[in-house]
Chain A
Amino acid sequence: MAAATDWGEMSAMNRRRRALSSENLAFVLFVAFMVIYPLMADEFSVGNVAYFLAMTLLAVSLALIWGYAGILSFGQTAFFGIGGYLYGIFALNYDWGGATLVGIVVGVLAGGVVAATLGYFMFYGGVNDVFVGLTTLALTLVLQTFMAQTAGPEWAVGEARLNGYNGMSVPQIMVGDTVLFGRQLFYFHLVLLVGVYLILRWLTGSRWGYGLLALRENRERTETFGYNVRFMQVQVFFLAGCIAALSGVLYASWGGYIDPASMGLTAAVTPVIYVAIGGRRSITAAVIATMILLKLSQSLASSAPEYALVVFGALALLAVLFVPEGFILSLLQALDRWVFRGGRRRRHVAPQEPAPAQPRRVS
């Protein structure tokens, strides 16, 4: 870059480059494909991909909390379950038009409030790093264990029987008198996913997002720049809890069913593996990886179920060892370097004077 380049002009150039990044392009292509997909696919596949879209929100919540804020949470699955159950309980108890839509909000906020409460005690109590992982995993397993013993008829909230491992039947989402299913439900999920995605992309580029990036790198230092780090951690935990709960709401209403296995150990670890394989630091990578891996997971489950876990384990291991940024994100970054070039080029800056050759004097 010419030294004389005007700063303002340079920034504007960077902004254009950033708009034309492979990450943005990949997401636009993904959305375009999703928009036309229901027009080409059969009804079963449309329903199936609608399920992928719902689960993708769980991965998005994890990319936010883990990739952006640096907090590895196994609790997203718990908030997912809370969202699903609370939506179900609300929708079973109220049957006026629009009740299911209010139920979505109830489920989402329930997940967010539980997350914020847990987050408050963790972060203000000085719990961080690996201990957040342990605490959130404990929450998930406690919830699973609790829900597992709710089979008896005494476990009911109004009309809603919790039913333990038999599972709770959950009403589908209705707009007015119309039950959403097939293509309508597919597009409903797609709109919510794109909406959440756009909000997060906007947030991560905002002041708050820069603050998150900073506290991910170094909490103590970030606080000395005037950031209320603990409060920000609670905020991002709340937001990620809401998104995970939305995922749970969509999952439960899509299948008309939720049971405690949705909060089990496997359920808690799977999204972490998906996001690690795809690239936790990019919401786009998390979305695309989850869609692909869910599809792969289903194919393996039907053709070679005994190998499914082995394959995912191997992929996760490969990612951790050789592609720590994740396969999809690394691919996007390589595309940026080779196709879009600028903006993200990193080269060594020559020191402005010879590097210190002699040790400093102490006298």
Chain B
Amino acid sequence: MAAIASPQPTLLALDRIAKQFGGVRAVDGLTLTVDRGELRCLIGPNGAGKSTIFKLIMGAEQPTAGTIRFDGRVINRWPTWRRAREGLSIKMQIPGVYPELTVRDNMRVAAQNHIPMGSMEDETYRLLARVGLEHAGEELTKNLSHGQQQWLEIGMALSASPQMLLLDEPTAGMGPGETEETARLVQSLNAEGTTIVVIEHDMAFVRRVARNVTVLHLGRVFAEGTIAEIEANERVTDIYLGRT
């Protein structure tokens, strides 16, 4: 595989991934590909394995079986920090900000492996402005509202100029106004070329941003398609809404 000159359309490919926790199969032979430039939503009921998949992609957990390819390379054995340096960024489900550090120090921690020190001040300002926090730089992060912490974390994930951004429930705990802001932010990032995978429960948000939706159930891909196709699929509605 030396064809680096013409990048393949596939950025991320999970091939028959399994992850077993004790007797529980959180992910059960899952195959999933995400193309460059996509904005993909992962939905599914609780326990479908969504967050586990993100952990496997970032290397926080090791798959029991299967291969993970990113940008054409098998990354199963890469440590998390290397995956981060090669272009994978994540906003976690529980806000992964540093509550005891100031907003600007949070941004600096996230940015300094990717941005030269000389332009650090300008870049942290630009990134904070992007998520509407440019005037809160000196604030301790724990004093921010929940929504602001979510945005800060998205801004931090962006500082790496990632090829792929993983967003785990970016609108959790947000009001409608904040959710709308977040949707706009996610769409504009995608329009600039960042491949984005979003885990989200809020179907209004999914309808608003996603073109392609993957439904997970019991650790497998249950259905895949456009939002219209998924919403028209009665079996999806059944499992997702817990109907029988």
Contact = CB atoms under 8 A, between A and B. Distances in A.
B55 to A, nearest CB: 10
B114 interface: yes
Contacts of B172: 360
A224 B112 contact: no
A10 B102 CA distance: 15
Nearest to B175: A356
Given A210-B109, A353-B177, A353-B178, A224 B90 contact: yes
A224 B58 contact: yes
Nearest to A342: B138
B143 A210 contact: no
B229 interface: no
A221 interface: yes
A352 interface: yes
A356 B174 contact: yes
B65 interface: no
A228 B79 contact: yes
Interface stretch (A95-103, A133-141, A212-220, A238-246): A212-220
B148 A351 contact: yes
Interface residues of A, number: 42
Interface string B119-159: 00110010000001011111110011111100000001000
A225 interface: yes
Given A210-B108, A214-B109, A363-B203, A351 B147 contact: yes
Nearest to A362: B201
A211 B179 contact: no
Contacts, number: 120
B85 interface: yes
Contact of A346 (B143, B178, B203): B143
A11 B121 contact: yes
B74 interface: no
Given A224-B80, A228-B79, A362-B202, A357 B175 contact: yes
Contacts of B144: 349, 351
Given A207-B117, A221-B96, A226-B84, A360 B174 contact: yes
Contacts of A361: 202, 204
B222 interface: no
Contact of A352 (B81, B113, B132): B132
Contacts of A222: 109
B136 A349 contact: yes
B92 interface: yes
6 contacts: A207-B117, A224-B84, A225-B84, A348-B143, A349-B148, A358-B175
Task: Give the top 6 A-B pairs by smallest Cβ distance, nearest first.
Answer: A356-B175, A226-B84, A351-B145, A226-B113, A214-B109, A221-B96
